[in-house]
Amino acid sequence: MTPMRWQPDRSVATNPWPHPPLVTAIGRGLMGRCPACGEAHLFNGFLRVVTACQNCDAPLGLARADDAPSYFTILVTAHVVVPLLIIVDRMGQPPIWLMSSIFIPLTLVLAIGLLRPIKGGTVGLMLNLNMLKIDAAET
């Protein structure tokens, strides 16, 4: 009898939910839809992600975006506001109260307006790359 060499199972288990291309998943997340199917809503409030998609049962609640959406929002907002601030300042040096009355509301509107789409895109990226939380009980 010849010894049999053990070979590990290297096949990758496929997910039971749809797996769209990366750009499609991020785009669906940016629109606030399920990144997997694009049919159901992604959020159950302003920033609270639903636990699972109502249409395809993708475990959206296991994609923990944590602080990444806030960092990306700050990055985008700062790249819009700071150049505008410098340009307006160089054009004629308006008073501080005028600059504050323009750029503080602009910063707030951009940050609050971009936070939800950026979080959706981050969840879409994480779901597509299968970066899901392992234990569902760790909520």
Q: Looking at residue 11, what is its pLDDT?
A: 79
* This prediction's pTM: 0.83
Contact call for residues 39 and 55 (beta carbons, < 8 A): yes
Residue 10 above 90 pLDDT? no
- Alpha carbons 128 and 22: distance in angstroms, whole number: 6
Taking residue 14's Cβ as centre, other Cβ atoms within 10 Å add up to 7
**What would the pLDDT profile of 87-137 be if each residue is shown by its tens digit?**
999 998 899 999 999 999 999 999 999 999 999 999 999 999 988 887 656
Q: Looking at residue 125, what is its pLDDT?
A: 94
**What would the pLDDT profile of 25-48 be if each residue is shown by its tens digit?**
999 999 999 999 999 999 999 999
Residue 22 above 60 pLDDT? yes
- Alpha carbons 7 and 13: distance in angstroms, whole number: 17
Q: CA distances (Å), 64 to each of 43, 45, 69, 98, 128, in order?
A: 13, 16, 11, 40, 13
Q: Looking at residue 138, what is its pLDDT?
A: 54
- Alpha carbons 66 and 126: distance in angstroms, whole number: 11
Q: Which residue has the tokens 């639903």?
A: 50
When pLDDT is averaged across residues 62-69 and rounded to a whole number, the result is 92
Contact call for residues 16 and 34 (beta carbons, < 8 A): no
